[in-house]
Structure 1
Amino acid sequence: MWRCRRGGGCPQGRHCRDITNLSSLGFLGLYHGFQATDAAVEKQTCCRITLPRKRRAYQGTPPADQVLLCMTNCPTLIVMVGLPARGKTYISKKLTRYLNWIGVPTKEFNVGQYRRDLVKKYKSFEFFLPDNEEGLKIRKRCALAALNDVRQYLSEENGHVAVFDATNTTRERRETIYKFGEENGYKTFFVESVCVDPEVIAANIVQVKLGSPDYVDCSNDEATEDFMKRIECYKNSYETLDETLDKDLSYIKIMDVGRSYLVNRVMDHIQSRIVYYLMNIHVTPRSIYLCRHGESELNLKGRIGGDPGLSVRGKEFAKSLAQFINEQNIKDLKVWTSQMKRTIQTAEALGVPYEQWKVLNEIDAGVCEEMTYEEIQENYPLEFALRDQDKYRYRYPKGESYEDLVQRLEPVIMELERQENVLVICHQAVMRCLLAYFLDKPAEQLPYLKCPLHTVLKLTPVAYGCKVESIFLNVEAVNTHRDKPENVDISRPPEDALVTVPAHQ
């Protein structure tokens, strides 16, 4: 049951931003201190609980009462630790991408980039020598500039998580950063990447550092030699996180990119999710294949949702997909589908074992299931306009939003990170969500990513991102992509609402 705090006659109904879900009686009872019954709820004034837009950045030690107030939901500062070529930036970028995808505003602050912006031309490893006073001053200046931007992001711009990507190899430097977090009311969580396997280190150097802006004018051999000397500059002063000396810190220590882990003092749900994610990622070369089911009978008619079978062309695509996968000669390929008929029929043509995931089912359109866009505009013009205004957060009546779908698909992302070669046969909205994760697309763009029928996307994770290849399998299909119309006003004429609807039977 939904109630607007302004009274029962709110014209926006359940779409009002001041609503409170009164079905959450346990929460309301706990918060307001009364027995959670319908009668009790009716007698209470339900208030909208909000957080301040700006958080105060403290200079010096914060008052004790303020520290207590931010114990649960205060911002998180993630601090990377480790020698160069240990995968810190790789981890930073993946973690930032994941947290943003699940709806936690996160930003990465790479101190190396601050140094490159300040010192336009890199000369050699000598810049990093411990007795190079000028180099030390510049690096300290860059670190302070990055921390100042961290404060700006977390305290003034409503950021939730900042990732401070630098070596941070000494206990003294980490203590300084920890105090910075305390003074500003942040929780600090350290992520250390330790590599002792020479093959892992060599692979990191080849894949990442040889493509660094520092070495654009160097040969591979020159770059490798200089970078190895740069690593030596840090080794003598490197102090790893210690179970005894750092027992009061919150951290995860990752050995050889996932061979083993050490986790200490995880303090809240954000840190728990970070740890869980980091324990699932790996760097083994692999490819992920994403495609939609073959064209369905309802696709031909322009109807959304439902559980139809494949059209004639859809069955032809299934055969072409089987031929394509066979020609790829993919080692240990796993095939995943939803539990809907059209993805299962597509997978059956492959002639290989496949797994059905209910969480891969198409977005639930609620009361609009199996309707055309024209019928939705005719019967629910307000809903149609509201969805165009904010397609990511809009929830169909008795259905789902893209935001809901992202939360539903998080276990799939975790498993995809754990696996090697996988083919996922899914649906348009589901494929958009998965693609947005791998390509680091923001929520506003996610619902409009183009995922045409009868096209396979091959995703190959690379050093700091993902390479995408689009393969059309030469079987024609209807277009199901609808762009956002220019006019999204709730009083728009029908022709403006339907201008971007693709053609159908």
Structure 2
Amino acid sequence: MHKLYVAMVGLPARGKSTLAKRIRDGLMAEGIQAKLFNNGDMRRALMGAESTSPDFYNPSNAAGREAREMICRRNMDLARGWLADGGEVAILDATNVSRGRRRMIESTLTDHPVLFVECVNEDQLLLKACIRRKTTLPEYAAYSEEEALQSFMKRISYYEAIYEPLEEEKFWLCVDSTANRILAERPCEGSPFYPAIREIVVSAWVHCLYLVRHGQTEFNVRGRIGGDPPLTAKGRAQAQALAQHMRHKEIDWVFTSTRLRSHETATPLLAERPGAHIMAFKEFNEIWAGDCEGMLYSEIRERMPQVTAGRNANKFSYAYPNGESYALLGERVQRGLRRALFLAGDTPLVIVGHQAINRVLLSLFLRQRSEDVPYIYIPQNQYYHISLTPRRKVFERVPYQDDSR
């Protein structure tokens, strides 16, 4: 069992290709020879525009079914030849949603074990975003956005009609691809690569994350909590300086909160990047101060001394009256981060957050003691650059404007 086939499984837009690449890269980082064999790439090269039509995927379309099986067999032949020439792990990236297809793979590839890895995604927000993103692929260049969406949804419906989850196969993993979590497994015991693959699929990789706090607002100047204020002139200058600083950096995704100050900070960044994706997540909204929303800190000290005393005693766990604490932020902020990393995949992303939100986000990477989280420094003229993969570990705070003037 010193060589292995990994066959991906799952409906379209569930994160299979991203996870397949991550498995390849993670294994290669360990010195293991791994290679991808993608059915979609071969399909586009051999079939061209003909295979973009949803009818190509209709189970009752005999010609389409034969073409898809031919592509699958050809990729299996390439994978088998590559392993014979010295490769160690061959990754077959395709939907493979029917048991019939998977039986054919197991009965054909008998020289080495086959591990099936199924990707599941039940997050409807992410699923809709992924499907929309698929419609921007070059193969849909001749379609309008709506036509591409309808075509891809029809393709998915055909796959859904024949989809059968993993169960009977000899070796398999079922993975929640949005939460990096193994849902069920039939272990490939004895394979030297299986432990490494298990760790890869549960690890959250961050190839290139820029974590930014919004620019200065009037509330910041006056010491007011929360609210939805716009940027000040200085805040707008900070947003412009950030965009200027990052003008040569590749950025594919920008995530904001639903608050105005977050959007205004992101606007200059997006101005020169018409192809970048932007999404607003309520998970990145600033800590909710409840009854204290919009109040001055000085007013809270005078009118609600018990709030000040409670936060001074335990700032991490104390919740504002009818509001949130840092401890309560954790679940929603983690959910927002998982969504952002899933959508961005291996591409660079920016999160334009808020002081408390960014503190919690940083604590997820720093493994900070909970009682110290409310004191992490989050300046408005600097950002954090984070890259955490098996090959690269970077964590740095980068200034982009001198605010001392």
TM-score, length-normalised on structure 1? 0.43
Q: Check whether the contact 2:19–2:177 (CA below 8 A) recurs between aligned residues.
A: no
Between the two structures, name the one with larger relative contact order (CA 8 Å, sep ≥ 6): 2
Partner of 1:124: 53
Partner of 1:145: 74
Q: Which residue identity does 1:200 align to in structure 2? A: L
Distance 1:235 1:455, change over 3 A: closer
> Is structure 2 residue 187 aligned with structure 1 residue 261?
no
> Is structure 2 residue 95 aligned with structure 1 residue 200?
no
User: Residue 138 of structure 2 is aligned with which of 213, 237, 246?
Assistant: 213
Structure 2 CA distance for aligned equivalents of residues 288 and 252 of structure 1: 32
Local SS of the residue matching 1:121: helix
Structure 2 CA distance for aligned equivalents of residues 161 and 437 of structure 1: 22
Partner of 2:200: 277
Q: Which residue identity does 1:82 align to in structure 2? A: G
Local SS of the residue matching 2:31: coil
Q: CA RMSD in A?
A: 4.1
Describe how 1:397-412 pairs up with structure 2 within 5 A: none
Distance 1:434 1:173, change over 3 A: closer
Q: Check whether the contact 1:76–1:187 (CA below 8 A) recurs between aligned residues.
A: yes
Q: Which residue identity does 1:334 align to in structure 2? A: L
Output one character per residue of 1:32-83: Cα deviation in whole Å (capped at 9) or x when no partner.
xxxxxxxxxxxxxxxxxxxxxxxxxxxxxxxxxxxxxxx3xx2111000111
Q: Shift of the alpha carbon at 1:88? A: 1.0
> Is structure 2 residue 24 aligned with structure 1 residue 102?
no
Partner of 1:175: 103
Structure 2 CA distance for aligned equivalents of residues 151 and 119 of structure 1: 23
Structure 1 CA distance for aligned equivalents of residues 82 and 176 of structure 2: 30
Q: Check whether the contact 1:115–1:142 (CA below 8 A) recurs between aligned residues.
A: yes
Q: Structure 2: which 5+ runs fail to align?
A: 213-241, 246-264, 266-351, 367-373, 378-382
Structure 2 CA distance for aligned equivalents of residues 98 and 288 of structure 1: 22
Q: Structure 1: which 5+ runs fail to align?
A: 1-70, 291-320, 338-350, 355-421, 426-430, 439-450, 457-470, 475-505
Matched residue pairs, number? 252
Q: Shift of the alpha carbon at 1:197? A: 4.0
Partner of 1:226: 151
Q: Shift of the alpha carbon at 1:103? A: 1.8
Q: Check whether the contact 1:98–1:437 (CA below 8 A) recurs between aligned residues.
A: no
Output one character per residue of 1:430-453: Cα deviation in whole Å (capped at 9) or x when no partner.
x8x959559xxxxxxxxxxxx9xx
Q: Shift of the alpha carbon at 1:236? A: 2.0
TM-score, length-normalised on structure 2? 0.53
Structure 2 CA distance for aligned equivalents of residues 289 and 256 of structure 1: 23
Structure 2 CA distance for aligned equivalents of residues 424 and 200 of structure 1: 24
Structure 2 CA distance for aligned equivalents of residues 424 and 472 of structure 1: 12
> Is structure 2 residue 255 aligned with structure 1 residue 334?
no
Structure 1 CA distance for aligned equivalents of residues 75 and 200 of structure 2: 25
Q: Shift of the alpha carbon at 1:472? A: 6.5
Local SS of the residue matching 1:281: coil
Structure 1 CA distance for aligned equivalents of residues 210 and 166 of structure 2: 35
Partner of 1:252: 173
Q: Would you identify which runs of 4 or more consecutive aligned residues in structure 1 move more than 6 Å?
A: 471-474
Structure 2 CA distance for aligned equivalents of residues 266 and 424 of structure 1: 37
Local SS of the residue matching 1:163: strand
Q: Shift of the alpha carbon at 1:257? A: 2.7
Describe how 1:342-381 pairs up with structure 2 within 5 A: 352-353=375-376
Distance 1:105 1:435, change over 3 A: closer
Partner of 2:216: none
Q: Considering only CA atoms, is the larger Rg found in Structure 1 or Structure 2?
A: 1
Q: Check whether the contact 1:200–1:256 (CA below 8 A) recurs between aligned residues.
A: no
Output one character per residue of 1:190-244: Cα deviation in whole Å (capped at 9) or x when no partner.
101123443332122123x1232221222221111111110111222221112xx
Distance 1:109 1:333, change over 3 A: same
Q: Check whether the contact 1:196–1:256 (CA below 8 A) recurs between aligned residues.
A: no
Q: Shift of the alpha carbon at 1:166? A: 0.8
Output one character per residue of 1:357-400: Cα deviation in whole Å (capped at 9) or x when no partner.
xxxxxxxxxxxxxxxxxxxxxxxxxxxxxxxxxxxxxxxxxxxx
Q: Check whether the contact 2:385–2:397 (CA below 8 A) recurs between aligned residues.
A: no
Larger helix fraction of residues: 2
Q: Shift of the alpha carbon at 1:164? A: 0.2
Q: Shift of the alpha carbon at 1:288? A: 4.9
Q: Which residue identity does 2:129 align to in structure 1? A: A
Structure 2 CA distance for aligned equivalents of residues 262 and 253 of structure 1: 5
Partner of 2:222: none
Output one character per residue of 1:398-429: Cα deviation in whole Å (capped at 9) or x when no partner.
xxxxxxxxxxxxxxxxxxxxxxxx9468xxxx
Q: Check whether the contact 2:98–2:163 (CA below 8 A) recurs between aligned residues.
A: yes
Output one character per residue of 1:90-121: Cα deviation in whole Å (capped at 9) or x when no partner.
21122212222222121111101101000121
Distance 1:111 1:437, change over 3 A: farther
Distance 1:435 1:250, change over 3 A: closer
Structure 2 CA distance for aligned equivalents of residues 289 and 117 of structure 1: 38
Q: Check whether the contact 2:211–2:353 (CA below 8 A) recurs between aligned residues.
A: no
Q: Shift of the alpha carbon at 1:143? A: 1.0
Q: Check whether the contact 2:20–2:91 (CA below 8 A) recurs between aligned residues.
A: yes
Structure 1 CA distance for aligned equivalents of residues 122 and 390 of structure 2: 34
Q: Which residue identity does 1:235 align to in structure 2? A: E
Q: Which residue identity does 1:217 align to in structure 2? A: A
Partner of 1:241: 166
Structure 1 CA distance for aligned equivalents of residues 139 and 392 of structure 2: 29
> Is structure 2 residue 113 aligned with structure 1 residue 187?
yes
Structure 2 CA distance for aligned equivalents of residues 271 and 288 of structure 1: 32
Distance 1:256 1:88, change over 3 A: closer
Structure 2 CA distance for aligned equivalents of residues 260 and 212 of structure 1: 29
Local SS of the residue matching 1:118: helix
Q: Which residue identity does 2:135 align to in structure 1? A: L
